[in-house]
Structure 1
């Protein structure tokens, strides 16, 4: 197995959480208590992470791909990015309150627990239960607590924990930093989705797909850092093609229904929302996981299929 295939295999779940749905950040903090700390970020020299613009006579919409968790010393802010943020009158994120533990806890209770159902351990092999016990101990979640959790919730916790274990911090994530800057500037922060919608994406998956997600999370637990570092390096350099090869191609080939639910369907919905935004006026900055802005199923590709011009900045 080549090094590129090996890191794609062991790190795809962790990468998915870092670049796709923002949900894992809030739920990991709510269940386990992710470590957070503030670190100043310096502007990075251009080129930096990719940015696109959609515009018409009276509207400008910036599209920026994010990584939801980053190592604290990662530099990603560029003069072009700062200028676009300063120009924007609204910041749109996947969800505006991904780190709101008070909002996350009722959703965990409603959609993440399987009270009265088969215990999780009965759905896993002895080897998988041993892996889960080790991961649970590292997360700080009693193994008994996972018995009443839906497989998707445990898989999400394990995936984000693998990212945090590799030195990636939710407090240093791009979305968190952008929201903090917007709040400081008094810029409204809005969401393309609600936290409940993101929870339902996982909850509504068939149990076997949820178990597949959990099993892949456990397989990636020990060796996520190599994949993440490679992925972030491509993202920070604005290498969209390299990012697509490393992350998107493997997801598209192997994730099946999960890829369709977490990426394709959501991108189509966001393209609809962006088209509606163009009917208004003003400048909007949209920041979503970088996986949504790469590949044939990206938001940009869907907009262009509808006749909307999208330009790389």
Structure 2
């Protein structure tokens, strides 16, 4: 059975979208607390896809990430390490990807709904039962979820499901790359701020937020198989398979969320990359893998602007 067929048996489109958000938005590390881990050292080929953009005096590497990974997942390759060693700067979605202290006041500002309708009043009896079960598994009092906006409850449930399946924000590619850059003294830049990423969800209509929450609840029990299949595609560098599984169906079935989380941001990042090309030197860019697959990917938008992008 192919990877794609296996994951389509494992869960619905809604479930794949909920899990796939971990490949497109970097907030997961900011809202989860996880234990230390031991990083696997063995190198596996082939590895995740990488692209390069260059001109006479600039080289920019593009690398797709997964924001949570199992500690034993092997993704480092000699080619990747060589590109990182060459780079004078590391660019991530946000520069302080693991800064929970910075995230907390933003959660209060954009994630809470003090005085508004409690979350349970917006859900069916079945959904509330699912939420109670998820809250118990997370170890969060149900009353704490009542004052959260639907998007934040959905994100908390998604993160908890991933952690329960063995995925760890501390093992995520962005977190590990930042740690390596900090150790080497390499400057870390960001396309966005944590506040901007919170606002992407906060500004969604309540109906879309509730859909995201329902997706997370409906797939709580099957997150492990869905994530394993998506990560397998990513780790093998199967961009086409990943595109068909995650990006295309998100675009076809969830247009508004796709537009907010991917299309608009990709366009903004393509513009920032063009500005980087006007300078000189070598830059390594690592963003969620969903941003580097499909017709609306960062690479496609760069090519529409006349910039040549080459798969390495």
SS of structure 2 residue aligned to 1:163: helix
Report the 3-state secondary structure (helix = DSSP H, G, I; strand = E; otherwise coil) of the residue aligned with 1:208.
helix
Match of 2:80, SS state, is: helix
- Three-state SS of the structure 1 residue aligned to 2:157 is helix
- Whether the 8 Å CA contact 1:268–1:302 is kept in 2: the answer is yes
Deviation at 1:14, TM superposition (A): 4.3
Find 1:15's aligned residue among 7, 13, 19: 19
Q: CA RMSD in A?
A: 1.3
Q: State how far apart, in whole Å, the 2-side matches of 1:162 and 1:251 are.
A: 20
Deviations 1:47-78 (A, max 9, x none): 21000000000100000000111111111000
| Pairing 1:253-264 to 2, within 5 Å after superposition | 253-264=252-263
Per the TM alignment, residue 3 of structure 1 is displaced from its structure 2 partner at its CA by 4.2
User: What is the CA–CA distance in structure 2 between the aligned matches of 1:234 and 1:250, rounded to whole Å?
Assistant: 16
- 1:181 and 2:185 aligned: no
| Aligned-pair CA distance for 1:220 | 1.2
Q: CA deviation at 1:45?
A: 3.3
Instruction: Describe the shift of the 1:204–1:306 C-alpha distance in structure 2 as closer, same or farther (beyond 3 A).
Output: same
| TM-score, scaled relative to structure 2 | 0.95
2-side partners of 1:18 and 1:119: how far apart? 26
Q: Give the conservation status (yes or no) of the 8 Å contact 2:28–2:68.
A: no
Which stretch has the larger CA shift, 85-94 or 40-49?
Answer: 40-49
Deviates most, 82-91 or 164-173: 164-173
TM-score (ref. length: structure 1): 0.95
- Which deviations, in whole Å up to 9, do the C-alpha atoms of 1:164-195 show, x marking residues without a partner? 11111111111111011100100001111000
| Residue of structure 1 in register with 2:9 after alignment | 6
SS at match of 1:187: coil
Please give the secondary structure, in 1, of the residue aligned with 2:30: helix
1:193 equivalent in alignment to 2:196: no
- Count of residues in correspondence between the two structures: 307
Aligned 1:1-313 pairs, distance under 5 A: 3-9=6-12, 11-27=15-31, 29=32, 34-313=33-312
Q: Distance in 2 between matches of 1:79 and 1:262?
A: 31
